[in-house]
Amino acid sequence: MTPFKHRRFRLTPAAWLVSCYLFGSLGAQQAFAEELLNFMPAAPQPPAAAVATQPGSAAPRRRDNDLISFSPNPAPAPAPAAPPAPVATATPVFKPAPALARPEPAAPKAASVSRKSNDLLTFEPIASPPVVRTVTPARPIPAAAATSPQPGAGNGLAQFTQTSRVAREAEQQVHSVSALSLAALPPRLAARSSERGTLLGPSEFELRQVFNRAVEAAILRAPTISRAKAEQQAAVEDIDEAKGQRWPQVDVGTQTSPVNIGKGSDVDSGSSGINLAVTTPVYDWGRIGHSIDSRERLLTAAEENLEAEKETLGYEVTTTIIELGKQRIIVDLSQQFADRMNDLVKMLAGIVAVDKGRTSELTQAKARLLQAQALRDAAAAKARDAEINLSKLVGERPVPIPVTREWNIRLANLDLLLDAAKEHPTIRKSIAETESAVAQAKAVRASGLPQLNWVISKSTAEDSLGREQPWQTNLSMTWGAFRGGSTRAAERAALQRADASRYANDQQRRDLEFRIRTADHDARTMLERSELYRDLGQESGRIREDFFQQWHHLGKRTLLDVLTAENEHYGNQVNEINNRFDGYQAILRQYAGAGTLARWLRTGS
């Protein structure tokens, strides 16, 4: 073996102060011998193969000038029971003294420390398993790391460094996934989403198909949709009625022979006949055109109202499906909780049959069983209410609902939905109503101006001489010069309705934006909280089993502890399901708030 070269390290006053502060309860001699090494600045060490001492040289002793020397002991280590493995590396390792060291797991060590009578620490390399590892220069070890238990004496520092690096990389990975890959998801949800990928059960495409078929079935039988369609058809007829005013207006009438009374009654005033008048508008200041424009805007409003009703109905159907799926899962969890309480009651009944002193425990278990049954019945009632509501919407048509506790519904893009909300059906309906009111005001104003018409008339009545009246044609102008201010009042009323529609439009925009933002916040918060309850449920499940084992086999827990653990585990599971499915409903509320739910169900965009 190549001898190691002696190196001496002077104890600085700072190291003395730190040592006395941390290990003041120990004597100065013990601090020198056991822990002072952890606080001394170490010079960079060359590789072990290149540093050696003279064979047979004695270990240097500590002198009065506060120098401590380290040298490998050339004496071989005590022979173990079995021959050691081939030596791959021999690395000196600083190990705390037994007085302060914590228990370490059994592992092959890379070096042993022997204590001499001269109070010197000698580090002897022993055999260690072959390890493929890059040797790096030693660095000063903090006190906390030096006194902590190490899995192995030879690779403890490397493992600690590697573990810390892995932890930092995991944190950075979670942050990067959360910020970039998964649209700024909360950390817990982003970390799990990156691990699990697609969940078991129907994909998002299949879920959208289930939702879309149910919505289409609801549209075919919904009275609100039929009413909106009737209003749309009425708006179409109103347009035809306004357009018909451009055509010549043909009026046909008749009258009886006049009866003369008084002087001159003996004079023949003519016979009865049929009167025909054809009136064609020539110029009306745009009255008919503005009326047609107003009716067309009302048709647009009726069409947008139909789309808004479909969005509302689609949201109601999809959220009812999600609510039914949630309640069915809660019913299953409640049944499992009730079954576990029932098993516990049966077990305690057998115990009480032998030991009457534990009757109170049986009473506690029966009370908790009744509580579990009440919770199960309440969940079943809510599930039945959701089934009735869904049947009212889609009829008796069966709707396949997944039974998994997690569905493949991704979070929506907030920015895209806020842009799409500007084209929401209710917004377009409000805009159309505003434009219709403005056009109606123009039509009312034009009706108060002179109207020029072309008139063609004919009467079959004969005059007193028996002569038939000829065809007549002329231009006729009519002007309502005074109507008591009714025309101007009608115009101002139409303009006020337009302003009211504008204000309603602004309010609707604000409401939709607030609804989308709130739904996005709820979805992310609830899904993140569901992940928290999921982790908490796993831990509470372990606590439940441990408490049961400790109570049943060891008697270290009371029955009340077991029942409380069971109840907490059930509550965590229910909270997870409630938050998760409420988050799914919040996602659909985002799409409905942006007016893109029907499009998302059909195309996924």
Residue-wise pLDDT for 162-182, tens only, equals: 444 544 444 444 333 333 334
Does 567 fall in a domain? yes
For residues 223 and 94, membership in a common domain is answered with no
pLDDT computed for residue 83 by the predictor: 44
Domain that holds residue 490: 204-255+272-603
Domain-terminating residue out of 108, 135, 162: 135
**What's the confidence (pLDDT) of residue 317?**
94
CATH of the domain at 303: 1.20.1600.10
Q: What is the domain count for the chain? A: 2
Determine, yes or no, domain membership for 415: yes
Same domain, 471 and 556: yes
Beta strands in 22-175 (DSSP E): 67-70, 111-115, 121-125
Asked if the model's pLDDT at residue 573 lies above 90, the reply is yes
C-alpha 51/C-alpha 566 separation (Å) is: 63
Domain boundary among 135, 159, 192: 135
The helix or strand, by DSSP H or E, that contains position 538, with its residue range, turns out to be helix 486-549
Q: Percent of the chain scored above 90 by pLDDT? A: 34
158, part of any domain = no
**Position 570 in a domain:** yes
Query: pLDDT per residue over 430-483, tens digit each?
Result: 999 999 999 999 999 998 889 899 998 888 877 767 777 888 888 888 888 888
- Report the distance separating Cα 300 and Cα 177, nearest Å: 45
Segment 205-249, tens digit of pLDDT: 989 999 999 999 999 999 999 999 999 999 999 999 999 988 998
Domain assignment of residue 198, yes or no: no
SS3 annotation, 56-86: CCCCCCCCCCCEEEECECCCCCCCCCCCCCC
Of 82, 109, 135, the residue at which a domain comes to its end is 135
Q: Within a domain: residue 171? A: no
543 lies in some domain: yes
β-partners of residue 93 are: none
Are 417 and 305 in the same domain?
Answer: yes
Same domain, 226 and 88: no
Question: Rounded to an integer, what is the distance from CA 547 to the centroid of its chain?
Answer: 35
Residues 507 and 425 in one domain: yes
At residue 267, the pLDDT reads 60
Query: How many C-beta neighbours within 10 Å does residue 297 have?
Result: 22
Q: Is the domain of 110 the same as that of 231?
A: no
pLDDT of residue 70: 36
Q: Which residue has the higher pLDDT, 94 or 572?
A: 572
Q: What is the pLDDT of residues 31-53, one digit of tens each?
A: 444 443 343 444 444 444 333 34
Q: Which residues contact 19 (CB under 8 A, 6 or more apart)?
A: 31, 35, 36, 39
How high is the pLDDT of residue 304? 92
According to DSSP, residue 89 is labeled: -
429 found inside a domain: yes
| pLDDT score of 395 | 86
Same domain, 218 and 82: no
Q: Contact 43/102 with Cβ under 8 angstroms?
A: no
Same-domain pairing of 302 and 448: yes
In the chain, the percentage of residues whose pLDDT exceeds 70 is 65
